[in-house]
Amino acid sequence: MHSNLLELARENSAEARGALMLGLTDCLINSIDKRSNAELEMFGEVALLLYRSTPGTDRMPLSRKVPTQPRTPLPLVLELASDQIHIALPVLEHFSAFKDENLLTLARKLGDEHLQVLARRKDLDYTVSDTLVRRGTKHVHRILAGNREIRLSDIALKALVRHAV
């Protein structure tokens, strides 16, 4: 396995970088509990370098693996969450290690398709839901209004009612 990864690292094609990124991810995920924080950080840096030059077809499998691993380096997770919606979807829906400030950052910068996915999360605090109400379209508002797992601030409730009228 490791010799295959070294061969991929020597190649200079998008396909090789994608295969290398996925191979490194598999190595990491298979023993993530044994990895130190320094190893995880180094993996995150390497994976980000590879990620930015990897075709979407190789980024998709990565976005399916990451949500199950809460120790995945946050910069890589945030990059995945900001990608095209079909790649970002699994991370936005299921990554459990997002902190409130991470969700708020995403809510402030992502487009409406991404906001619709965020609005379905069960772990939104007031500041995130307020931002979603302020930035989102009626689709986001409907999803938030129907999300029974979160509590909305008075400001968000009033804004949703105002938008509904």
CA 128 to chain centre: 15
Give the model confidence (pLDDT) of 112-126 as tens digits: 999 999 999 999 999
The Cα–Cα gap between 87 and 65 comes to 11
Which whole number is the average pLDDT over 62-88? Answer: 92
Residues 6+ apart with CB under 8 A from 57: 18
pTM: 0.86
CB-neighbour burial class of residue 136 (10 A; exposed 0-12, middle 13-18, buried 19+) = buried
Tell me, letter by letter, the H, E, C secondary structure of 9-50: HHCCCHHHHHHHHHHHHHHHHHCHHHCCHHHHHHHHHHHHHH
Q: Which structure tokens are listed for 60?
A: 């998709």
Residue 9 has a pLDDT of 67
Give the model confidence (pLDDT) of 141-164 as tens digits: 999 999 999 988 888 888 888 877
